[in-house]
Structure 1
């Protein structure tokens, strides 16, 4: 390792200051994502606590997911129009305030109907806040770390999200709900306050982000600024190809997940609900490992081999239940698919951060999220219809085939080194 003096002589930047800044961004992300994990458990379980209607319970979950499908384009414009650090702080505080209102309703025993209506409103607010915070954080990373450290930074952020959302936040949220709903609501609100405090301490990026975000567009009309991310995405062939691939793969994942519970619990695999939960844990564990491995693999192999390997891993995961009802091969394939997913997320996000101008990164990220989330309900709906006609195995086979076909545009569009590939 070079000393600071040697770094200055060699022309390489001293990364200690940038490391401290990133550590604060990571701390804010970790706290907020632990809060997100609590919320993922809190919303359906609190709805069950407040009503016996399965439709109203499902409505609470819908309220928490709907903004992700309809808001990312507007969120992207907001992220590119304001100081991203302050925007994240505001929406962390906004989410804490929304949960405070719900906490007050629970503590004051305002009544189940009022609390349920408020839960719907709070779920919408939390989803909007999470959307803004996630997209703004992705857009903020390139101003915090050097370009050649993007895989490292995104690996930490994505791995932390997976661990705290799926392995810590969800079970902790269930435990707190069992103790008392107010504990879960108050805990999530407190975590968002901690995240806001960590962002307040994030110095050194605010002025640069504000300058990059406030560059005037060639056409300043809101309609054109709103669609600028879509236009830039469509003009950039590698990004366009990867986005369309992601949309297809997200739909196939959604179809696989929609049918997997039928096949493994009610079908020939014969898992218990707890066993099904452990199977999904293998998926999350694989994603964490894939995210952790991505910086070294990106340096050693480049972009295209990693993305091709992820497609192959995804095909194996989606297709294995079509040919086997054994839990061992299905679990191994699920873990492998998780590893590929972790690799894909880190590498593609880092590539996007290199290829997209800083002032448009929020809108491009919003456009990509809109397309990706749009493919998920379509995949689930088609899977439901096909399962009724043919059973689950043809769904798995079709999803694997469609995913395998995405290798063709990947290998044709991305050069062997990968678009924007940089190996430090």
Structure 2
């Protein structure tokens, strides 16, 4: 039996013990995701206690989301350059330390302004740590499970993420903040520390080893890695190498037609989902639906329930109906969810459509992540994942901003209708790649030497 490090180098995870190794990774991920759920409730609720300014409260949320739009490219390079297990441990401890500093500020009765500034800084640190942990975990999964079980593994990870973030972490975080913000801060920090300890049980080394270049591989990148052509340019040559490596994920992604198409679709759909969510509260609470704030929270719970259901169904559906029709199903479900509020103010209709949208989202996340893991060399998976996150999350603030402007002029319903139409249009590029052989999930584990010349 190969050691974990040998398995990683060969790209061939061992079947014996693979379930135990994945269970350790899953336990670490579950603990960290519960901490993420507490943080999602903590940041806005603590900000509200510290200031009456809505702008400053929104600033705390911005501090927690902005790193996701600017950091993934650098994070991807980091993930492809270091041992991924150690990287996750370090940044879980980094998040625990950041929350320990915030806890100290709370316990020492610092001024509200000082604590608010500390909250902004800690929110940025937590977002960076989450980006590293999420991208590194995605890159690590193919090293601990056989290729034909990627959908199963990703289903467990994404389903657990949805449950602990939305069903457990959010309400538990609100309860802890009600008891005292220090309880929520300490609880989240403790969970990140537990996650780091759980990663210690994942034995072996998981630093990616460069694989043979594919026919369309980045030949220039090989020269950059080996230092060719840099002798006389000094610092300019060094800066050029860094920029080249930093943007390698984008270049590799752009040359892979299926991944490129799916990423651009994800960017459009992420912007449409963000626009939908930005005005949904206005339409359902202040508008014709007439929900209470608690009812609005319950409505969003149907989205999480659908995501968990979709993630659970994804492995079986990938084997029976195939990846390509799962992707079509997600787009259609997204159109139904986004367009339902434009057509009806009936809360039951909107809730059912939201559940369907969640199911499609859960299916998409599992099969697309699994497809990415299959199509990407191990030593580039971090950078490609970072590039995809950068593009996808970059569409979210744009969608929210456009929705705010359009809703101010026309009201929420045209926003819902436009989001549904734009999502429906993504079927055009999707149909063009439906016959791509790469979309067929392999029935068995790929050979470690397949594709070498």
Into which bin does the TM-score normalised by the smaller protein fall?
Answer: over 0.9
Q: Which of 193, 213, 222 lines up with 1:217 in the alignment?
A: 222
Q: Which residue of 1 aligns with 2:108?
A: 108
Q: Which of 229, 237, 261 lines up with 1:241 in the alignment?
A: 261
Is the CA contact 2:334–2:357 (under 8 Å) kept in the aligned structure 1? yes
Q: Quote the Cα distance in structure 1 between the aligned partners of 2:337 and 2:399.
A: 16
Q: Quote the Cα distance in structure 1 between the aligned partners of 2:442 and 2:212.
A: 28
Counterpart check, 1:384 vs 2:404: yes
- Relative to structure 1, the CA distance from residue 223 to residue 417 in structure 2 (aligned partners, 3 Å threshold; closer, same or farther) is closer
Equivalent residues in 2 for 1:405-424, closer than 5 Å: 405-415=425-435, 419=439, 421-424=441-444
Q: Which residue of 2 aligns with 1:359?
A: 379
Equivalent residues in 2 for 1:9-408, closer than 5 Å: 15-204=15-204, 206=205, 208-212=206-210, 217-220=222-225, 221-408=241-428
Is the CA contact 2:261–2:430 (under 8 Å) kept in the aligned structure 1? yes
TM-superposed CA distance for 1:217, in Å, is: 3.5
Is the CA contact 2:13–2:145 (under 8 Å) kept in the aligned structure 1? no
**Most deviating of 255-264 and 412-421:** 412-421
Is the CA contact 2:162–2:307 (under 8 Å) kept in the aligned structure 1? yes
- Relative to structure 1, the CA distance from residue 416 to residue 329 in structure 2 (aligned partners, 3 Å threshold; closer, same or farther) is farther
TM-superposed CA distance for 1:294, in Å, is: 0.3
- Relative to structure 1, the CA distance from residue 344 to residue 184 in structure 2 (aligned partners, 3 Å threshold; closer, same or farther) is same
SS of equivalent to 1:384: helix
TM-superposed CA distance for 1:212, in Å, is: 4.8
Is the CA contact 1:158–1:291 (under 8 Å) kept in the aligned structure 2? yes
Q: Quote the Cα distance in structure 2 between the aligned partners of 1:217 and 1:145.
A: 28
Is the CA contact 2:311–2:363 (under 8 Å) kept in the aligned structure 1? yes
TM-superposed CA distance for 1:16, in Å, is: 3.9
- Relative to structure 1, the CA distance from residue 14 to residue 200 in structure 2 (aligned partners, 3 Å threshold; closer, same or farther) is closer
Is the CA contact 2:324–2:440 (under 8 Å) kept in the aligned structure 1? no
Structure richer in helix, relative to its length: 1
- Relative to structure 1, the CA distance from residue 219 to residue 419 in structure 2 (aligned partners, 3 Å threshold; closer, same or farther) is farther
TM-superposed CA distance for 1:211, in Å, is: 3.1
Which string of whole-angstrom CA distances, capped at 9 and with x for unpartnered residues, describes residues 206-264 of structure 1? 2x534359998342321111111000100000000000000011111111111111111
Q: Quote the Cα distance in structure 2 between the aligned partners of 1:203 and 1:225.
A: 29
- Relative to structure 1, the CA distance from residue 14 to residue 231 in structure 2 (aligned partners, 3 Å threshold; closer, same or farther) is closer
Q: Which residue of 1 aligns with 2:448?
A: none
SS of equivalent to 2:52: coil
Q: Quote the Cα distance in structure 1 between the aligned partners of 2:162 and 2:17.
A: 27
**Most deviating of 36-45 and 381-390:** 381-390
Q: How many residues align?
A: 411
Give the alignment's TM-score, normalised by structure 2: 0.88
TM-superposed CA distance for 1:53, in Å, is: 2.2
TM-superposed CA distance for 1:274, in Å, is: 1.0
- Relative to structure 1, the CA distance from residue 143 to residue 323 in structure 2 (aligned partners, 3 Å threshold; closer, same or farther) is same
Q: Quote the Cα distance in structure 1 between the aligned partners of 2:347 and 2:329.
A: 23
**Most deviating of 218-227 and 182-191:** 218-227
Which string of whole-angstrom CA distances, capped at 9 and with x for unpartnered residues, describes residues 309-336 of structure 1? 1101111111111111111111110000
Is the CA contact 1:302–1:418 (under 8 Å) kept in the aligned structure 2? no
Q: Quote the Cα distance in structure 2 between the aligned partners of 1:245 and 1:90.
A: 33
SS of equivalent to 2:247: helix
TM-superposed CA distance for 1:414, in Å, is: 2.8
Give the alignment's TM-score, normalised by structure 1: 0.94
Q: Quote the Cα distance in structure 1 between the aligned partners of 2:440 and 2:388.
A: 18
CA-based RMSD: 1.8
Q: Quote the Cα distance in structure 2 between the aligned partners of 1:15 and 1:145.
A: 7
